[in-house]
Structure 1
Amino acid sequence: MRDTLTVILAGGRGSRLEPLTRDRAKPAVPFGGLYRIVDFVLSNCLNSGMRRMLLLTQYKAQSLDRHIHLAWRNYFCRELGEFIDVVPPQQRIDDNWYQGTADAVYQNIYAIEREQPEDVVVLAGDHIYKMNYKTMVDFHRDRDADITIGALRVRCEDAKQFGVMQVDPDGQLMGFQEKPDQPIPTPEDPEVCLASMGIYVFKARFLYERLCDDATQPDSAHDFGKNIIPDAISNSRVFAFPFLDENRKDSVTPHVGADAYWRDVGTIDAYYEANMDLIGVDPQLNLYDQAWPMRSFQPMLPPPKFVFGSEGHSSRKGEALDSIVCQGAIISGGRVARSIIGAGCRVNSYASVEDSILFDHVDVGRHCKLRRVIVDKGVNIPQGTEIGFDPAADAARGFTVTESGLVVIARGEVIPAETMV
């Protein structure tokens, strides 16, 4: 894979994830207690043998840049031609921010050309899944493709948010529609569409030519899905690569629905559901797979601790059921159920945390009750506070409340003692 360069688009604003993206880019949002969203695509790259990466940032990139420095720099040796370079917008070509996915790559075309790759892999840094990109690159080269697109089979009712592809029996694209109102189903199943995952492999020379041509088009959105892919179908070799889930690649069933785990965590509710997927008895996304490890920054903290469980303290027992509890957390006489507890958190006596996500260093006071709540880093919940039981009251306090009743407490939120019950 030394003749392949990976470009990761990690500049997303993530406005639908606010307030979690108020101070950080979407790929830098914590996920699963220990990780950031971007760790999944980076782990896939490392496990696939791809060790030459450009990470293109844009909005609120400081948190993401710091995480890459802490978690990922040591995996690469510059002397051996390995690197992960964080590349902010440099306005080398014009004075604009990135206008679209294709424009983001175009504005960094000099950095890509300098590495002289044979193929360029373009990935989004804000999706949750496991995938071996080497298999896709091999597929791309075997078919002498100009572009290969990662393809996911989704239900037609969910396909309106994707690019939808039609392919011939060999997998070559015959049609492509970006976010269509009426998605075209596959011939073999009228309820399923073939959707683009936003994962591309390009012949490097072909990519340069198409990007330079697209940059001269004043009416273009400068986007891969809206412009580059549809324009290439009629006169180039464009193929769809069926997504192979690394957790389920040996399954005898087709990779449809639950069999192929891929999540776009673009909204608060989608983000919450993807986190909750992790705490199942047999989760679709296996974080404990030693053959395909997920990597991240490991803070120097002690193991989690559960106290007041001995005889004589039966009324206050520190316990966590069906939950993920990260290092440094102390469940001090409180009860946690179906939740994700970040590093350095504390759940104090008689408190109850259910169906919730606590980011790092959250302190939950005595007698608190939290249900279906996401709490950002470092928030102190005063004792006796109840959140997640009355959506109108939670909204009146200034918390973000989704249509499903999920409550989000932003980083730096100060919850006054008057909310005590």
Structure 2
Amino acid sequence: MKAIGIILAGGNNKMMKELSNKRAIAAMPVAGSYRSIDFALSNMSNSKIQKVAVITQYNARSLNEHLSSSKWWDFGRKQGGLFVFTPTITADSSYWYRGTADSLYQNLQFLKSSHEPYVVIASGDGIYKLDYGKVLEYHIEKKADITMVVKKLEDRSEINRFGVVSMTEEGRVTEIDEKPLETNLSTVSTGIYIIRRRLLIELIEKAAEEDRHDFVRDILVRYKNLKKIYAYKLDTYWSNISTVNSYYKTNMDFLKKDVRNYFFKQYPDIYTKVEDLPPAKYNFGAEVRNSLVSSGCIVNGCVENSVLFKKIYIGNNSVVKNCIILNDVYIGDNSYLENCIVESGSTIKANSRYVGEGDPIIVVEDNPIYY
């Protein structure tokens, strides 16, 4: 594919509460064995994009560890490769990234030293499958300056988290409203864009000259009448995990057979860094219903409608219901958890009880392990 890829994975978000205290949102575990950024990386690899940059910033240690080898997504080639950019102090700049456009500006040399004519920009917190090649074909066919991938949302309660767009029947974007308080529109931007490389360099340099730092507000919104911006409609599964409720709902979606089949049984595949762990072990008396249980887990109690990530211990007579249990969690005997997200590394003491009323609650327990 005649494009390079850029994944924006540097943002932080208070709507994730305690979940983003020790990791970037792009590093959030999803569907038992994956990280959020795996979906964008896999889409890049499956679209035959050979050169990809990941721009990180907040709480990047976990994300950088995950990206320590490019082989899992097949970027370890002589040509291209996977590049991870973090903010650096230079003679010209002593700032952290002040916005998405500024993060691109501080890494402008990556764009200038590349030779591919197009750039695919994606966010690291989207859960979806997409052939960027088809978006590029649409971009070329429409003779667009910028193409943005959009999705019509059925759940209107989520719309104010995103930029909403209106367009003509031909797909030309006429209006972009970033995170409106009220709107009648239901089509949102997914944070995926295709743009010609030289035009992107020109727009980023112009924004930097004017001390503007945000890609959406300072480029897309400002140039919507000056540049030809088109919308490519995504009609398959897409979710953004940047709030606690959306993160919980997205993981619970993977308990649905059609969603699991779409991501894990249908070509192309989603790839991730593989850990060498034993298969899950179910001891005598264990009951598991409609759940995802990952490698390295030991289950003694009852698990229902839940997602268990790697290396989790469920004690005797414990009940885990409608929960997401992140990696390396120990749950003591006779505990009851319902409608919870348990942070990784937590140790739940025996006889504990946590129940989320309505919205899921986040459980963080840093106790010594009691066997």
So what's the TM-score if we normalise by structure 2? 0.93
**Alignment-mate amino acid for residue 82 of structure 1:** G
User: How far is 1:144 from its partner?
Assistant: 2.1
Match of 2:267 in 1: 291
Say if 2:257 is the partner of 1:304. Answer: no
Structure 1 residues 320 and 70, CA gap change in structure 2 (3 angstroms):
farther
Structure 1 residues 140 and 272, CA gap change in structure 2 (3 angstroms):
same
Mean CA deviation greater in 357-366 or 53-62: 357-366
Distance in structure 1 (CA, Å) of the matches to 2:297 and 2:303: 12
User: How far is 1:73 from its partner?
Assistant: 5.5
SS in 2 for 1:283: helix
Query: What's the % identity of the aligned pairs?
Result: 29
- Superposed counterparts of 1:157-306, under 5 Å: 158-185=158-185, 193-218=186-211, 220=212, 222-245=213-236, 261-283=237-259, 286-306=262-282
Superposed CA deviations along residues 360-395 of structure 1, whole A, max 9, x for unmatched, are: 221211111111121122222222111126x7xxxx
- Structure 2 regions of 5+ residues with no counterpart? none
SS in 1 for 2:101: helix
Say if 2:296 is the partner of 1:328. Answer: yes
So what's the TM-score if we normalise by structure 1? 0.82
SS in 2 for 1:78: coil
The CA RMSD over aligned residues, in Å, is 2.1
Structure 1 residues 182 and 113, CA gap change in structure 2 (3 angstroms):
same
In the alignment, is the contact (CA less than 8 A) between 1:73 and 1:84 conserved in 2?
Answer: no
Match of 1:82 in 2: 80
Structure 1 residues 69 and 11, CA gap change in structure 2 (3 angstroms):
same
Match of 1:252 in 2: none
Superposed CA deviations along residues 222-275 of structure 1, whole A, max 9, x for unmatched, are: 212212012222222211111142xxxxxxxxxxxxxxx221211112111111
SS in 1 for 2:4: strand
In the alignment, is the contact (CA less than 8 A) between 1:127 and 1:264 conserved in 2?
Answer: yes
User: How far is 1:349 from its partner?
Assistant: 1.5
In the alignment, is the contact (CA less than 8 A) between 2:279 and 2:296 conserved in 1?
Answer: yes
Superposed CA deviations along residues 106-137 of structure 1, whole A, max 9, x for unmatched, are: 11111111112201111101111121111101
Structure 1 residues 31 and 209, CA gap change in structure 2 (3 angstroms):
same
In the alignment, is the contact (CA less than 8 A) between 1:122 and 1:199 conserved in 2?
Answer: yes
- Structure 1 regions of 5+ residues with no counterpart? 186-192, 246-260, 309-316, 392-403
Match of 2:344 in 1: 377
In the alignment, is the contact (CA less than 8 A) between 2:19 and 2:343 conserved in 1?
Answer: yes
User: How far is 1:415 from its partner?
Assistant: 7.5
In the alignment, is the contact (CA less than 8 A) between 1:71 and 1:297 conserved in 2?
Answer: no
SS in 2 for 1:279: coil
In the alignment, is the contact (CA less than 8 A) between 1:10 and 1:58 conserved in 2?
Answer: yes
Distance in structure 1 (CA, Å) of the matches to 2:341 and 2:70: 24
Report how many residues are paired. 368
SS in 1 for 2:110: helix
Superposed CA deviations along residues 45-101 of structure 1, whole A, max 9, x for unmatched, are: 11222221000011111110100115756722331x131111111244422111111
User: How far is 1:157 from its partner?
Assistant: 5.5
SS in 1 for 2:245: helix
In the alignment, is the contact (CA less than 8 A) between 2:42 and 2:73 conserved in 1?
Answer: no
